[in-house]
Chain A
Amino acid sequence: MTAVIELDAVSRVYPGPPPVAALHPADLTVEPGQYVAVVGPSGSGKSTFLNLIGLLDVPSTGHYRLDGIDVGDLTENHRAALRGRRIGFVFQAFHLLPHRTALENVMLGMLYQGVPRPERQQRALNALTEVRLDHRLQALPSQMSGGERQRVAIARALVNEPSLLLCDEPTGNLDTATAETVLELFHGLHARGMTLLMVTHNDDVAGRADRVVTIRDGLLEEQR
């Protein structure tokens, strides 16, 4: 079985000035269905790492294979296509469009995938049902709680049936109780075989993952 993520001495240096070695050459392999937590202090390079995995950024050195595809060979447009199809993103700040309803926000996730509009609507509905928000389809982000917003964002990340879900502190903006429901959602996804990579500050959160990797001053280490 092909690994979802295969990193071979991948590093990232921000050219600056002054140049910042945000990620030292790192090796990591993530198999399908694994739940990996990335922990580390602020400014240690967690987001840098996640952006590289998410094809939002390009490594300075090394090789990265996503689903067996060497992304170093790809043009920007090909990387965009791969990113849109294979990776779902969940951000700390939700990133919902404020003037669109929950349903429209989820449908937006499929906009660039050539999915016909009626199918987009159906799939968005299914995804929102999965995160138990089928009663809030027409709600605007401003009319929803933080937890609901993050669940909309998760539904949006799932609609393209990605092979990998990347979450950058998904509970960072939520209170403990709300965070718990969101984490349970991730747990359920993991139980059904979703591959998850989650950046977190919270050891409690990290404790539920299969694997924990730490990043300290740009140095990646497998903890367990």
Chain B
Amino acid sequence: MKSPVAPSKLTLRDLASEALAGVLQRPGRAALTALGTVVGVATFVIVLGLTATVGGQISSRFTVLGATEVQVEDTSADPGLDGPAFPEDAAGRVRAIHGVVQAGVYWSAGERTVNSRPLADTAGTDAYPVVAASPGAVTAMHPAVATGRLFDDFHNRSAEPVALLGEAMAKRLGITRLDSHPAVFVAGVPLTVIGILGDAQRHGDLLLSVVVPERTVERLWGPPAQGEPSKMIVETQIGAAQVVASQVAVALRPDAPDRLKVTAPPDPRSLRDSVATDLNSLFLALALTCLGVGMVGIANTTFVAVLERTGEIGLRRSFGARGSHIAAQFLLESAILGTMGGLIGTCVGTLSVVAIAATRHWTAVVEPWTVLPAPLLGTVTGILAGLYPAMRAARIQPVQALQR
């Protein structure tokens, strides 16, 4: 039926200012109430932020180095009988594969005494591993040259008696400068040191070895020994490792591809994703738990507020407020509490991620899709928490409310 008087109304603006006044009239309580939501939302942002940051960390390590390296290994039990695993032009064949940057053969040529003077008596001097490597293999291992240079195809082809040493090893042998063409005696054979390696990002063990061109090793000590199979390192472009790995065996040994064992790096994307999902689901559960606790906190406070303010509710009803006006006010109050908690929690969470990343020297990765909706998460928490108290408030009868 038609109302005999104009219906009661409450503008959004008035509703908002009433709700805000309701929250702010007890600022201490509001702060404590929002605390649960602050913790919940902060956890949410920290978890997602750290997952993204760590994920970025994992992928930056794996993508750049590990994920661009393919290893090929001779599986022959007796290379002496089966013949060399890699053809003469192995590097050329592999480089022809699309996506290959560098490739080369290398093997461990055993431990041999290394000395800086031509001692007849080698007893008492240290033995170091000798690595036979093609120039391509050395480059693919990404050594940093501290002094001098790496050997090249010329040194290799003509089996020059040259060697590369790691920095610490060179120092031990008393070699710091190369301008006088110092030599080391490896198993009594003089080799000219043409380069000192400061670092090797891949194959750090290179720094503890004497690296000699493969042909030189073959000339001096013969082909790879049994149990020390020759290997090939293939450096690929980012993202090409999997494809290259699937082609390399056939390219090298179309006659016997099975003789070669090819090891491709794990797909960085799936690795990162699996790490991320594990962390995500675990910590998201934690964040949700915190939000649940926050929700209970807001629900409890709002409920207490409704009970405390029954007089106010009755009074508002006597001014013509509808039940829905009362419900809207309490719902908005809890939504405001939740949003405040969400905003503060987002700030706390973001700052924490940045701080944690800074102490670890990581690059903080805070994805916008986690930060932007995070305050809304608080809002939703507040609204859900306020539903029941608001409903109760709407149902309080004005007569009851005005009795003291």
Contact = CB atoms under 8 A, between A and B. Distances in A.
A109 B318 CA distance: 9
B8 A81 contact: yes
A153 B8 CA distance: 21
A84 B402 contact: no
Contacts, number: 97
Contacts of A181: none
A166 B311 CA distance: 17
Nearest to B403: A47
The residue among B25, B319, B323 with the most chain A CB atoms within 10 A of its own CB is: B319
Nearest to B321: A112
B5 A82 contact: yes
Contacts of B316: 108, 111-112
Interface stretch (A23-31, A89-97, A187-195, A210-218): A89-97
Nearest to A57: B399
Interface in B124-183: none
Interface string A64-106: 0000010001111110111111110101010101011000000
A141 B322 CA distance: 26
B6 to A, nearest CB: 7
B9 A114 contact: yes
Contacts of B359: none
A84 B311 contact: no
Given A56-B317, A111-B316, A80 B322 contact: yes
Given A57-B399, A76-B323, A111 B317 contact: no
A40 interface: no
Given A93-B404, A99-B21, A112-B325, A80 B317 contact: yes
B104 interface: no
A51 B5 contact: no
A71 to B, nearest CB: 9
A112 B318 CA distance: 10
A114 B399 contact: no
B319 A81 contact: no
B320 A80 contact: yes
B20 to A, nearest CB: 12
B28 to A, nearest CB: 13
Contacts of A108: 315-316, 319
A113 interface: yes
A83 B404 contact: no
Interface in B316-352: 316-323, 325
The residue among A73, A77, A110, A117 with the most chain B CB atoms within 10 A of its own CB is: A77
B18 A111 contact: yes
Nearest to A113: B320
A54 interface: yes
Contact of B321 (A84, A86, A93, A114): A84
The residue among B318, B320, B398 with the most chain A CB atoms within 10 A of its own CB is: B320
Contacts of B314: 56, 95
B319 A111 contact: yes
Contacts of B321: 80, 84, 111-112
B399 A84 contact: no
Interface string B66-107: 000000000000000000000000000000000000000000
Interface of B: 1, 3-11, 14, 18, 21, 25, 311-312, 314-323, 325, 397-399, 402, 404
17 contacts: A51-B399, A74-B4, A83-B317, A83-B320, A85-B320, A86-B5, A95-B311, A95-B315, A95-B402, A99-B21, A99-B25, A111-B321, A112-B325, A113-B6, A113-B8, A114-B6, A114-B9
- The 4 lowest CB-CB distance pairs between A and B, nearest first, are A84-B320, A99-B25, A112-B320, A112-B8
Interface of A: 51, 54, 56-57, 69, 73-78, 80-87, 89, 91, 93, 95, 97, 99-100, 108-114, 117
Given A82-B4, A111-B321, 7 more contacts: A69-B4, A76-B323, A80-B317, A95-B314, A108-B315, A112-B316, A112-B319
